[in-house]
A and B are shown apart, each in its own frame.
Chain A
């Protein structure tokens, strides 16, 4: 069964955490307190998210507020919203051209 979007986002978060951070990650896991992710690491996460899902946040006009990301759940929800927005934009573009 292929990984879900949530699984892929969790994998990104786990990859960004320092080696000594806890590895059992749930939606409630706190990014800074539990995983040691500082603001630079969260910024890096945003770029890796773009790379993983092929989304250009600048082209999407998305204003990513890293400061609002407190838990893994926040990251999953923000990521899902951006993916949905990117998909809707792509569908709209295809309707215009078809």
Chain B
């Protein structure tokens, strides 16, 4: 079975700042300490830091091969406006992602992210990422302090429409270092309506605001979700519940498999996460082979292609009126 992982990051502090991770580990330390476990943020950091030494994605490629994942989408989120301990500029981050594409041909696609408050320079850089670096999408991170329907993002969405690339945006809670205020999936509704030829992927939609994400997928033709971070549900739910629930709502043509590598490296390997979802008798057991293939790779491949049925192209262009 072909599998595409629609949600990964480069496992390096060069791309995910320390403040982001430390805040998340502090949250975990609270959980463990409340149960009398002698866990401190420093100890958790010492366990997690070795998992963030894969700047060239060599470890990720090895784990993909072991797990049967043929391709993965690397998301270059831009934290540089919101967090002050980023070690690279956005341009440097993009160049390093381009280097990974060259190092592992055919294994990755990259969605570049730019905080819209970086203005014209940021927009120009994003366009370069599509025309020169070979990136295939736009990564939006609302917890940095902006709505996914902020007007400042519209020029980016215009480029996405022009180049026929999708947008992947985070929904729901994230590291405590950032805000959760602008992470409700309904906040993308205006953008999705005004840019009907741009496909929007709601990241973590199986576990964060699942009802709202499913609703958006069901009623907006250009809205999708990925199931990454389903691993968080393993802590308080039977492991099948989150994924089984989301694939039981008639929207399997909108669901993408994802693992959010390297976020859950302390909890398991890519083979574990693939097995958790695709094993016989697992959460996809109740759906047919066609839908199973859509979730595993079909939906991602369609979005990474033109994103539209070929017969629609001319009609949609004629209807493009968002000003």
Quote the shortest CB–CB distance from A93 to chain B (angstroms).
Answer: 20
B269 at the interface (CB under 8 A from A): yes
A39 at the interface (CB under 8 A from B): yes
Is chain B's interface secondary structure helix, strand, loop, or mixed overall? helix
In the complex, chain B residues whose CB is within 8 Å of the CB of A58: 42-43, 46-47
How far does the alpha carbon of A44 sit from the alpha carbon of B39 in the complex, in Å? 8
How far does the alpha carbon of A43 sit from the alpha carbon of B231 in the complex, in Å? 15
Size of the A side of the interface (Cβ < 8 Å), in residues, is: 17
In the complex, chain B residues whose CB is within 8 Å of the CB of A68: 269
How far does the alpha carbon of A57 sit from the alpha carbon of B45 in the complex, in Å? 12
Quote the shortest CB–CB distance from A15 to chain B (angstroms).
Answer: 11
A69 nearest CB neighbor, chain B only = B268
Quote the shortest CB–CB distance from A56 to chain B (angstroms).
Answer: 9
Stretch at the interface among A18-26, A46-54, A83-91: A46-54
A45 nearest CB neighbor, chain B only = B37
Contact among A40, A48, A50 with B235 in the assembled complex (CB-CB below 8 Å): A40
B31 at the interface (CB under 8 A from A): yes
Is chain A's interface secondary structure helix, strand, loop, or mixed overall? helix
How far does the alpha carbon of A4 sit from the alpha carbon of B265 in the complex, in Å? 32
In the complex, chain B residues whose CB is within 8 Å of the CB of A43: 28, 32, 39, 47, 266
B235 and A39 form a contact (CB under 8 A)? yes
A92 at the interface (CB under 8 A from B): no
List A residues 39-85 near B (Cβ within 8 Å).
39-40, 43-44, 46-48, 50-51, 57-58, 63-64, 66-68
In the complex, chain B residues whose CB is within 8 Å of the CB of A28: none
B50 and A40 form a contact (CB under 8 A)? no
B32 and A40 form a contact (CB under 8 A)? yes
Contact among A44, A46, A50, A63 with B35 in the assembled complex (CB-CB below 8 Å): A44
B266 and A39 form a contact (CB under 8 A)? yes
B266 and A66 form a contact (CB under 8 A)? yes
B317 at the interface (CB under 8 A from A): no
In the complex, chain B residues whose CB is within 8 Å of the CB of A57: 46-47
A47 and B266 form a contact (CB under 8 A)? no
In the complex, chain B residues whose CB is within 8 Å of the CB of A40: 28, 31-32, 235
Contact among A39, A50, A63, A66 with B38 in the assembled complex (CB-CB below 8 Å): A50
In the complex, chain A residues whose CB is within 8 Å of the CB of B269: 67-68
In the complex, chain B residues whose CB is within 8 Å of the CB of A47: 32, 37-39, 43
Q: 24 A-B contacts, Cβ less than 8 Å apart?
A: A38-B234, A38-B235, A39-B234, A39-B267, A39-B268, A40-B28, A40-B235, A43-B28, A43-B32, A43-B39, A44-B32, A47-B39, A48-B37, A48-B38, A57-B46, A57-B47, A58-B43, A58-B46, A58-B47, A63-B47, A67-B266, A67-B267, A67-B269, A68-B269
Which residues in B have some Cβ–Cβ distance to A below 8 Å? 28, 31-32, 35, 37-39, 42-43, 46-47, 50, 231, 234-235, 264-269, 272
Complex A-B, nearest 3 residue pairs according to Cβ-Cβ distance, in ascending order: A39-B267, A67-B268, A58-B46
- Beyond the given pairs A43-B266, A44-B39, 6 more chain A to chain B contacts, judged by CB atoms under 8 angstroms and listed by A's residue number, are A39-B234, A44-B35, A46-B47, A51-B38, A64-B47, A67-B266
